Amino acid sequence: MVNRVIDGIRLKFPPDKNWRLMTQHDPPKFGWAHLVDRETLSKEVARRRPNCADIINQSAKYCSFKKGMVSIVILTCRRWKTLETLIDSMEIYFESVKDYPLVEKILVDNGSGIETIDKARKKRFFDKIITHPVNVGLVNALKNAYRKADGEYIIFIEDDFILDTKKQFIKKCVDVFEQFPEIGIIRLKDQNNWWKPYRVISPLRKTDNGVEFWTWLPSKNGMLNVWCAGSVIFRKVSYFSTGELPDVKENIDRSKKMHQGYVYECVYGKEYNKYWLAAKMKDSYPFFQPNANEECLGWGS
C-alpha cells in the first residue's frame, strides 16, 4: 500500500483492479504519480508563460479562428451505436445546461460509409460533417479536421465516449485558458487513471472566478501527460504553433509501436509538451468511456 499527501490530504493506493471502468474519485487517487511542489510548478510556469503568451498574442501568425468559439470535433469509424449514444448525451446536455453560446459541432467520419453519414445528418446535430470514403487513420483524419475547425478552442472526442454531466464545464475551461497562457490543453476524461507512474502533477491552482485545477507537467521523457487524444479541449493556436500532426501513410495495427495513436500522443506529444502544460479541473470530468478496453474498428484497417 502506497501513501501520498497532496494539499494536506493523505491518500491510499493501489487503485481497484477494474479502474478503467471507474469514474474519478474525489479527491483523486494519485497513487504512483509524481507529485511536485509549488516551487517546481512556479519554475515550469516561469520558463513557459512568456513564450506561450507571445504565441497567443500573435495567433494570427499561426492560424485563424473565430474569437471565443469552441469547435467540438467527434471522430467516428463504423461504430454508429456508440456514436448515437454520444450524440444523444450531448443533445441532452446542450438543451438543459445552456453552458456556452458559441459552439460548432463537427463530425469526422473515417470510412464508415453512407449509411452512418445519412443517420448522422438525420440527427440534425452537426454543423459540419467531414467524410472520408476510406479510413485514413486517426492522425490524418484529425489533421484535416483541425484545419477546418473555426474555433479558438477545439474539443476532441472519440465516438465511444458519453457526455455525463449536468454541470457547466466549457465556461470553466475558457476561464482557465484566459487566465493561464501556459495551459494549452485541458483533460476532461472521467476515469480513475491519475495513479500512473509517468504522471507529473502539481498542487491545485484556481482562477479569479474560483475554478480549481491541477496542472499536469510532461513525463520525464517528455512524451506523455500533457498532449493526448480523446475527451480534451485545447487551444487551436497551441496546436498550430507547435506544428501540425505528422503525415502518416500507413494505418498499421495497434499492437505495433508506430501505430497512429502512438504517433498522435507520443511522437507529436513530445514536441507539444516542450511548450505547453495541461490542466485537469477539480470536480469537472464530463466525459466517460464505458467500454475503454474495446478497440475501434478503424485500427489497422
Query: Is residue 40 in a domain?
Result: yes
Model confidence at 294, in pLDDT bands (50, 70, 90)? Answer: low
CATH code (residue 122): 3.90.550.10
8 domain residue, yes or no: no
Choose between 267 and 17: higher pLDDT.
267
Using pLDDT thresholds of 50, 70 and 90, give the confidence band for residue 6.
Answer: very low
Asked if residue 296 belongs to a domain, the reply is: no
Please report whether residue 36 resides in a domain. Answer: yes
Domain contains 15:
no
> How much is the pLDDT for 199?
93
Provide the pLDDT for residue 24.
Answer: 75
- Residue 29: CB atoms within 10 A of its CB come to 22
Q: Residue 148 falls within a domain, yes or no? A: yes
In a domain, 294, yes or no: no
CA-wise closest residue to 89 among 125, 49, 57? 125
Please count the structural domains in the chain: 1
Owner of C-alpha cell 474495446 = 294
> What does the pLDDT read at residue 30?
86
**End-to-end alpha-carbon separation of the chain, Å?**
42
Find residue 34's DSSP bridge partners.
200
pLDDT given at position 31: 82
Contact between 214 and 223 under an 8 Å Cβ cutoff? The reply is no
Indicate the helix (H) or strand (E) that contains 95: helix 80-96
| pLDDT band, residue 14 (cuts 50/70/90) | low
> How many C-alpha atoms does 18 have within 13 Å on its Cβ side?
5
Residue 68, domain extent: 31-288
What is the pLDDT averaged over residues 133-138? 90
In a domain, 123, yes or no: yes
- Residues 26-82 pLDDT 10s: 778 888 899 999 999 999 999 999 999 999 999 999 999 999 999 999 999 999 999
Do 249 and 180 contact (CB within 8 A), yes or no? no
- In this prediction, what percent of the chain has a pLDDT beyond 70? 89
Q: What share of the chain is helix, strand, coil (3-state, %, to 5)?
A: 30, 25, 45
* pLDDT value of position 10: 47
Cα–Cα dist 128/115, whole Å: 17
